[in-house]
Amino acid sequence: MAKTIKKIGVMTSGGDSPGMNAAIRSVVRACAYHNIECFGIYRGYEGMIEGDFIKMNARSVKGIINKGGTILKSARSKEFRTKEGRAKAHQQLEKAGIDAFVVIGGDGSFTGAMIFNQEYNFPVMGIPGTIDNDIFGTTHTLGYDTALNTVVEVIDKIRDTASSHNRLFFVEVMGRDVGHIALNVGVGAGAEEILIPEEDLGLDRLLESLRRSKKSGKSSSIVVVAEGDKIGKSVFELKDYVEENMTEYEVRVSVLGHMQRGGAPSCFDRVLASRMGVKAVESLLDGHSNYMVGLKNDIIDVTPFDQAVKGKSKINMELLRVSDIMSI
């Protein structure tokens, strides 16, 4: 028989992403709508272990839908990875009378929630929050769309300088294991070449592509590089290699770093967060647990945690083909 849920906790874990605050707001207000008490859990699993909880109501989350980052803060917890740490967390939840919780985060956060659920049969739902868009079971994670818009805006500015000085720019974007950001912003910003972990272009082919661009009359070029690209040891090694082999180019590197994770969420991310928060709360009230909510064919659906964690998100191969055609 499903546990009667009267109090739900909400937390953000792992790296922050735009849209997390909008998701917190959605969870809190969905709880208020269904007459369920809601508690914010500060600093992810670390705060859960310490019992760092605060009661929240519909007014607690006013004015946060447009803010980046997370008002509940985020932290990585080594202690929660131990049985003893999870036991402390469970004791704190029981002590506060919290019956279930929603975790907003990535695959590491979901793995922790899945193990916790297995050990204590504690109801939990996940909302995917990461700009990398690297979680199986959703076409978009929270923050991904905002990151794309942020990066495209920056590359547009870099192109102004590149064209003014006849320079080649390597722009490194986030994407340690997947190239979603690099591929989409590369097409959106009109990059001459896109380097992603899924496609090993190779140094010779990169030079060939750049020479073709130069021969066609392009006086400047933008190459978007995912941080997990396999061609060189680093984007700076790529710069050195191109400078040695194409002396006609003045080469510069821009590593965008954590600026991609900040800023006000886009309208798309705000709407997505609102939909996901409601689905997470109502799924718990319907007796479901150990699932992640996600967007599939414009419908908010659920995927079991184990599939979300173990599955691989795939890049759009058609978009890769489009990028080749556009770079001519």
* DSSP strand pairing (53-56 vs 37-41): antiparallel
pLDDT of residue 2: 59
Instruction: State the Cα–Cα distance between residues 328 and 325, nearest whole angstrom.
Output: 6
Interval 226-246 mean pLDDT: 85
pLDDT of residue 229: 77
pLDDT of residue 221: 84
Does position 1 have pLDDT exceeding 50, yes or no? no
Q: State the sign of the Cα–Cα–Cα–Cα dihedral 42, 48, 53, 57.
A: positive
pTM exceeds 0.85, yes or no: yes
Interval 262-268 mean pLDDT: 97
Reported in sequence order, the residue ranges of 153-259 that DSSP labels E, i.e. its strands, are 167-173, 193-195, 221-226, 250-255
Does position 202 have pLDDT exceeding 80, yes or no? no
Supply φ then ψ for residue 199, to 5 degrees.
-130, 105
Instruction: State the Cα–Cα distance between residues 298 and 278, nearest whole angstrom.
Output: 15
Does position 300 have pLDDT exceeding 60, yes or no? yes
pLDDT of residue 314: 86
pLDDT of residue 186: 94
pLDDT of residue 192: 87
Q: Kindly report, residue by residue over 19-66, the tens digit of the pLDDT.
A: 999 999 999 999 999 999 999 999 999 999 999 999 999 999 999 999
Supply φ then ψ for residue 31, to 5 degrees.
-65, -45
Q: Which residues are catalytic?
A: 132
Confidence band for 232, pLDDT divided at 50, 70 and 90: low
Q: Kindly report, residue by residue over 104-150, the tens digit of the pLDDT.
A: 999 999 999 999 999 999 999 999 999 999 999 999 999 999 999 99
Supply φ then ψ for residue 262, to 5 degrees.
-100, 180
Burial of 276 (0-12, 13-18, 19+ CB in 10 A): buried
Q: How many CA atoms lie within 13 A of 212 on its CB side?
A: 12
Instruction: State the Cα–Cα distance between residues 308 and 293, nearest whole angstrom.
Output: 10
- Three-state DSSP at 120 gives helix
β partners of residue 128:
105
Confidence band for 183, pLDDT divided at 50, 70 and 90: very high
